[in-house]
Structure 1
């Protein structure tokens, strides 16, 4: 069962994304509300995949990626972004994020991106 860390400052988004992963048979090992929490929880759990919101208080998702990837180059991080943040997404991908998805999104779209990053065939 693949493990996942869900990072978003909005509780409803963490719950919604977490529920999607549970439905797909993933184990949600932790949730974080900002980039600083995400780094600590990544080190603790080293999950198979991370969904990382881009814009958060305390520390952004981009800054968290820039701290996680040098230490864990194999980390699989999918950025979750709002429309109009393309430039920051390019920076995140160049910093080691594996892919991104734009809010609002349909569950099947997130599943497609996550399965692609993990190398799992979407059933």
Structure 2
């Protein structure tokens, strides 16, 4: 779903900056890209790598066509290379596992704090000096 943050035909300017306003207006709201968009973008980068002198040039050309920044496109392509084992790094699956374990760790720490506070409370209740 596209959210329009500005009108499609800005009245504030004309020329090249008008194109920037239009592109800005058509960008998807914050959040991850759709999986089919990612797959298409990565496929295009891989197909056209040999046509350009550098990865930056490929991402700049395709980024303008797709309406995303070259850095976003470069990051998507780099992560895809890592996921298939062509480049060193942490895969998407490993990243998700790390994130899940961190969340679980956080919940366990909170549970431990609650149990410690309960133990202190009940120890005070059982102490004969407090009667």
Q: TM-score range by the shorter chain?
A: under 0.3
Give the number of the structure whose residues are more often helix, by fraction: 2
Give the number of the structure whose residues are more often strand, by fraction: 1
TM-score, with structure 1 as normaliser: 0.26
Larger radius of gyration: 2
TM-score, with structure 2 as normaliser: 0.25
Structure showing greater relative contact order (alpha-carbon pairs closer than 8 Å, 6 or more residues apart): 1
